[in-house]
Amino acid sequence: MATPRPAFNAVILGAGVGSRLGPLTADRPKALLPLADGGDTFLDHSLRCLQGTPVRQVHVVGGHAFAALEAHVAARWGDWLRRGVLVLRRFPDFRTVNNIGTLYFARAAFVEPCLLLNSDIVYHPAILRRALEHMAQEADQSFMVVDGSVDLAEEEMKVAVGAEGFLRAVSKRLAPAESAGEYIGILYLTPADADVVLSAAGDLLAAGRTDLYYEDVIHSVLDRIRLRPLFIDGLPWTEVDTVEDYQRARALYSELKRDAAGGSHAHH
């Protein structure tokens, strides 16, 4: 018998300016960059992956070019908006505060078990399915989705795993040699663990540390929460910071579309 899938909330962080993409993000957030000529965006990709799951509410946090986000969501996801499944909120300090602030701004979502997604990632739908299966099997076990098969360099958000199989570090500054892989931008937190993370985020923001990433906050509390890596080695994904990344994301998306149309599934 299949494990019943527990209800959860989701948060999609999409407030940033995406300045490294230059004119591409002048009038829209990164989450609204088209992945295909039909107008499918990063945001649509994640929302579609969440369709048909027991998600209660999806909190989308915007900031930069918020009017464009509002218009897109109303046009494409109006039903979810009307039913309160999708909650769209504008983070006012997006220009001056890094995503530690966006995370803290979305704290109401974390009273339920919560899946956090970065808004600038494209990933094989099987990655999200695997995360949901893991949530169903161990609802009270927080985890970070990690790719252990990538070549690591300076820019990647790396993780290190301790002796008991829980994460002991999450940082771009980790030496590739001591890293178990790269965090791909999908994270699951139980309400109890989210409480620890959010209270640390609140303290850091109060102390003026508006420059931090939410991953820095998680790193700072790894002695207080037990966070597992969920490895998805072999399943394709990509995140977007630069124009080259964006071209790669579009190519991957059309590949995923072709696979889905051809009915072939990359199961590992």
Whether 47 contacts 81, CB under 8 Å: no
**Does residue 267 fall inside a structural domain?**
no
> Is 235 domain-assigned?
yes
Q: What is the pLDDT of residue 3?
A: 61
pLDDT tens readout for residues 113-140 = 999 999 999 999 999 999 999 999 999 9
Q: In 10 A of CB 56, how many CB atoms?
A: 15
190 falls within a domain: yes
Handedness of CA 155, 157, 163, 168 (dihedral sign): positive
Chain segment 67-96, per-residue pLDDT in tens: 999 999 999 999 999 999 999 999 999 999
Per-residue pLDDT tens for 142-178? Answer: 999 999 999 998 889 999 999 899 999 999 999 999 9
Q: What domain range is 24 assigned to?
A: 8-262
Distance CA 268, CA 254 (A): 21
Q: What is the number of structural domains in the chain?
A: 1
pTM here is 0.94
What number is the average pLDDT over the span 236-260?
95
Classify residue 84: in a domain, yes or no. Answer: yes
Within-domain flag for 98: yes
User: What is the reported pLDDT for 266?
Assistant: 46
Distance of CA 266 to the CA centre of its chain: 22
For 184-206, the DSSP string reads EEEEEE-HHHHHHHHHHHHHHHH
The SS3 of residue 221 is coil
Residue 192's CATH number: 3.90.550.10
pLDDT at 26 over 70: yes
